[in-house]
Structure 1
Amino acid sequence: MKRRVLFAATGLLGLSMLAPVVAQAQTQTPDNKVFRFVPHANLAVLDPIWTTAYVTRNHAYMIYDTLFSEDAQGNIKPQMVDTYTNSPDRKTWTFKLRSGLEFHDGKPVTSEDVVASLKRWASRDAMGGILNTFIDRYEAPDASTFRLILKEPSGIVIDALGKASSNVPFIMPARIAATPGAEQIKEHIGSGPFIFKADEFKPGALAVYTRNAKYKSRAEAPSGMAGGRPVNFDRVEWVIIRDPQTQFNAIKAGEVDMVEQPSFEQYETLKKTEGLKIDDFSPAGLQFIMRFNHLHKPFDNPKIRQAAMVAMGQQAYINTQIGVPELGKLCRSIFPCGTVYADENTGYFTGVANPAKAREMLKEAGYDNTPVLLMRPTDLASIAKIPLVAKQQLEAAGFKVDFQQMDWASLVARRAKKDAPAAGGWNAFLTAWTAGDISNPLAMAMLNAKGDTGWFGWQNEPRLETLKASFARASSAEEKKKLASQIQAVALETATHAPLGQYRSPTVIRSNVSGILQTPGIPAMWNIKKN
């Protein structure tokens, strides 16, 4: 890796701290056995249960394994599980783990580890929380068998255990999974295909993973996140490069092999650059959203949240952030258009900015000019521009905006704080979710309306939780569709969040790279080869 890229990646850490690591890798490992990947964001938080941040989820897929996984067609398939059964009364689920599963510290994966991991996951995840309401108890009759004993039948057991994206029910050692969900874990030991090199981790610069020689892959061919996970590299380096132009220079020069989310401004140039190719490993795309903090003024008032939604116009977000017509799409539904529960019957929310109407609504709601503390991540190119649009649209509607800029890692940390905005909290932030994460009302984090134990923003809305419980009991597709529409109606009435348009975000790889898997937005580092 060349010196100029290292300097950009290290930032304030200094070149001298990272250069020896890379130099050592180059002398000890053949180049085709090292894969250098530029993630879409800085990896600052390492606990995939504590946060829903995608960069943390992607890190977790490197080192942890899951009980079930989702294939390329969206079907849930066993991963760590060998066999499973459901009793005739549909209330006792029995699972048998595959033999030979082992954590990176050499200890076997047991049913005790699974139960502890599932309990911690369910304490944080929206869908896990719903599943937990059905569970009477867990049982671990032997080291390789665990059971879920339900209070009543539920049709979401396998869907929840096979949930592919944030939060994912990753399996950790029981002693680590015993950490309360509200606290971050301090050890990062899994049983997955790669081992995290904590001794080489340079936050803001470099994360290193080595091949787990003891990983027991499934025999099936890889498909999506399911099936076998063949590893063709001895070492994978996540190189943190925040500047889009430096990313472009690095991959053009062959200094890195893959840039997860190149700048949209570079899209046309990348398609024409020799030695590079565009690969859209997540064709279902993503959705921009604005999340409101329901705890503090002014967005503790649902009428003021509604006014903010009326102020929002999706086209401006797509034009400003994407700028490539073929990659953007308008969609009013909170469930992405093209998915099962998509519904553009959205009442007052049209997806077209109406500042005059929003001003009327603010006046009626008694808005007192309380500032909206809006956070913007300056270093996350894929969403860095949309807060600028939000600021403009909110101000056009009569909101006073306190616009605060920070890096993404700081935003992720700050959005977890329930303090008042003036005391280090916040009122609103914008992000993007992959379609797979928000196409089901039980999986959508923004519909976790359990107050203090819910997702960042902490909405307390029992009606949503009741409807979601009914959805979890529903047995027919028609009933689920009807309930999903009712859930959307309540979500819009209470303004859980604002959907701000859909888009695709292709990745760029070197031409000598092959084997990128089609997944629900996860850059899987297995099955990839570099010639």
Structure 2
Amino acid sequence: MTPSPVRRRSVLLGALGAASTLLLTSCMGDAPGSQSAAGPPVRGGNLTVAVPTDPQSLDMVANPGQVTAHIGNMMYEKLFEVDKAFTARPMLADSYTTSPDRLTYTFKLRQGVTFSDGNPLTANDVVASLQRWEKGHRTGQLVAPDIESITGPDPATVVIKLKKPRYPLIDELAGAGTEIYEAKNIADVPPTGFGQDKAIGTGPYRLKSWDIGQQLVLERYDGYKSRSEEDWGGQAGAKHAYLDTVTYKVVSDQDALINGLQTGQWDHAMPTNDQYEILKKNPNLVVHNLPGGNENVVIPNFNPGSRFADPRAREALNLLLDKPAINAATGGSKDLTVETGAFASPDNKAFYSTVGDEVYRRHDPAKAKQLLAEAGVTAGTPIRIVTSNSYPEFAKWSVLIQDSLSKIGLTAKIDTYDFATMLGTLTKEPGGWDLTTLFFDAALTAPAQMPALTLGTLNGSSSPELDRLMAEYNASNSPEQARAVVDKFQTFTWQQLSVITLSQSRLYAAYTPRVKGYGDFYRVFWNTWLAAS
């Protein structure tokens, strides 16, 4: 067995999504909230964070929502985590080796790590968590066919044996859904996930209280054992847990969110992009770009019963949508909007591709009307759009799509739900909807993690061709080979139109100057403290 260093994700800097290098500089430099600008850390206090929706569940396999992930990152850890440059770094893994044939990975676990209930981390917990990921998480389901076994030969060792080499495995183990839970807490868990009492991880914070729909409070876990690496940042390295508690307030109304920021009701928020310029002008707030972004998409339904099961209807929708106009109406500052049809940022040398860009930029409403008529989409039956008001962008895009359809004589019915109900509606009624609006986390590290390529279970867009491309990527043995497959992914996506990308949005946070040590990385607060008022 030969040592296998953690492969640097320099190829994945564009998986900062719509953030890219411009935003990365803000998280790597000395931001106003950084330690160098703030003096020594202060222990204690409560940080109040406004979030757009209740997480509904803290089970990261059952509920893949953004708010769930951000809160879960404070509580749970994985074998590997991403640093501030989206490099895979060992977290619960102390070290690992790979066999010369690249079929056997042996992970040594860090010693002395405990869950927040005091129980020690063992290989049994890791094995149970990863086996559940294989069965219940979309990325895990795509990885599972290549895995022969996941075993724990002793309490400190985990072995993954593959049926064939898998180039992105370490990246996939650092992705969402691979959080490690106590084995006893995930035995026989239903598809809806575990309850509050089982939301226990090895992270620096643990659940204190949860008033569903109102607020959720985390408290410091004093038994947490930190890694020592201070410079990794992101979700990796040292975690100091200076704050006593972090309170997440559910604030779905954007006006209330902005007012609360300006009046000091909450310390941190990630508002919608149309508030960016206003908040930047407020001298009492710090506004910083974040190293991540969203791919903003319209998703047509391929399932029988949908009016977009016909490829001509999907082609027509792409031709109908005036993407620059939609982006201008909903994107706010040009600093935050990247008009591209790629699923990774232009600065991502490995995952960004301009292939298909000419399809993305086509706009021909007359041709769209003709193709829709050929596909049997007429004014007689409304097009069914399912969306959510938990993220205001989704509802805005839906209204603009409705308006575009009305201009060519078609009608659309919009059904608006909270985010969890929206996802449930899409999956429980495969043929009962036509379009939905979403954004995807663009800071992703392997094709099996990218929703634009893995939507088959949601909208019926699975295909043998896509499976073949996934297999080709996974069989790569160098960044150059892997990169060559990316253009093929991009070509296929714009031919099939499993998603229609509107743009990429850079993310930002707005927070009180009292917030110090914040690394400008999503909602990661374990190294954050509050300065005295």
* Fold match by TM threshold 0.5: yes
Cα distance, 1:47–1:413 mapped onto 2, change above 3 Å: farther
| 1:281 equivalent among 278, 286, 290 | 290
Distance 2:225 2:121 in 1: 12
Backbone CA RMSD of aligned residues: 2.2
Distance 1:178 1:397 in 2: 53
Cα distance, 1:201–1:347 mapped onto 2, change above 3 Å: closer
> Paired residue for 1:228?
238
SS in 2 for 1:404: strand
User: Once the 2 structures are TM-superposed, how far is the Cα of residue 518 of structure 1 from its aligned partner?
Assistant: 4.2
SS in 1 for 2:345: coil
Determine whether 1:212 maps to 2:224. no
> Paired residue for 1:138?
150
Range moving further from structure 2, 68-77 or 348-357: 348-357
Identical aligned residues as a percent: 26
C-alpha contact 2:300 2:308 (8 A) present in aligned 1? yes
Can you list the C-alpha shifts for 1:267-312, whole angstroms capped at 9, x where unaligned? 2332222321102222x43221112222232122222222222222
- Structure 2: which amino acid aligns with 1:494? Q
SS in 1 for 2:459: coil
User: Once the 2 structures are TM-superposed, how far is the Cα of residue 347 of structure 1 from its aligned partner?
Assistant: 6.8
User: Once the 2 structures are TM-superposed, how far is the Cα of residue 440 of structure 1 from its aligned partner?
Assistant: 4.0
> Paired residue for 1:254?
264
- Structure 2: which amino acid aligns with 1:280? N
| 2:99 equivalent among 80, 87, 94 | 87
Can you list the C-alpha shifts for 1:44-103, whole angstroms capped at 9, x where unaligned? 233221232111111211211111011122221100111111112221111111111212
Unaligned runs of 5+ in 1: 1-29
> Paired residue for 1:514?
516
User: Once the 2 structures are TM-superposed, how far is the Cα of residue 120 of structure 1 from its aligned partner?
Assistant: 1.6
Unaligned runs of 5+ in 2: 1-41
Distance 2:216 2:146 in 1: 39
Distance 2:212 2:177 in 1: 23
> Paired residue for 1:304?
313
C-alpha contact 2:229 2:237 (8 A) present in aligned 1? yes
User: Once the 2 structures are TM-superposed, how far is the Cα of residue 31 of structure 1 from its aligned partner?
Assistant: 10
C-alpha contact 1:242 1:379 (8 A) present in aligned 2? yes
C-alpha contact 2:319 2:368 (8 A) present in aligned 1? yes
Can you list the C-alpha shifts for 1:382-424, whole angstroms capped at 9, x where unaligned? 4432221122223335543121122333223323323542xxx
User: Once the 2 structures are TM-superposed, how far is the Cα of residue 181 of structure 1 from its aligned partner?
Assistant: 7.2
> Paired residue for 1:321?
330
> Paired residue for 1:395?
406
> Paired residue for 2:529?
529
Cα distance, 1:457–1:233 mapped onto 2, change above 3 Å: same
Determine whether 1:35 maps to 2:47. yes
Range moving further from structure 2, 45-54 or 362-371: 362-371
| 1:417 equivalent among 425, 428, 434 | 428
SS in 2 for 1:149: strand
C-alpha contact 1:275 1:510 (8 A) present in aligned 2? yes
Distance 1:494 1:355 in 2: 20
> Paired residue for 2:21?
none
Distance 2:446 2:345 in 1: 10
SS in 2 for 1:442: helix
Q: How many residues align?
A: 484
Cα distance, 1:399–1:116 mapped onto 2, change above 3 Å: farther
| 1:202 equivalent among 211, 218, 241 | 211
Can you list the C-alpha shifts for 1:200-220, whole angstroms capped at 9, x where unaligned? 311211101100111111011
Distance 2:112 2:178 in 1: 20
> Paired residue for 1:381?
392
Determine whether 1:239 maps to 2:227. no
> Paired residue for 1:430?
437
Question: TM-score, normalised to structure 2's length?
Answer: 0.85
Can you list the C-alpha shifts for 1:231-281, whole angstroms capped at 9, x where unaligned? 111111001122222222222222211112x24343233222232110222
- Structure 1: which amino acid aligns with 2:405? L
- Structure 1: which amino acid aligns with 2:451? A
> Paired residue for 2:19?
none
C-alpha contact 1:383 1:431 (8 A) present in aligned 2? yes
- Structure 2: which amino acid aligns with 1:191? T
SS in 1 for 2:152: strand
- Structure 2: which amino acid aligns with 1:67? L
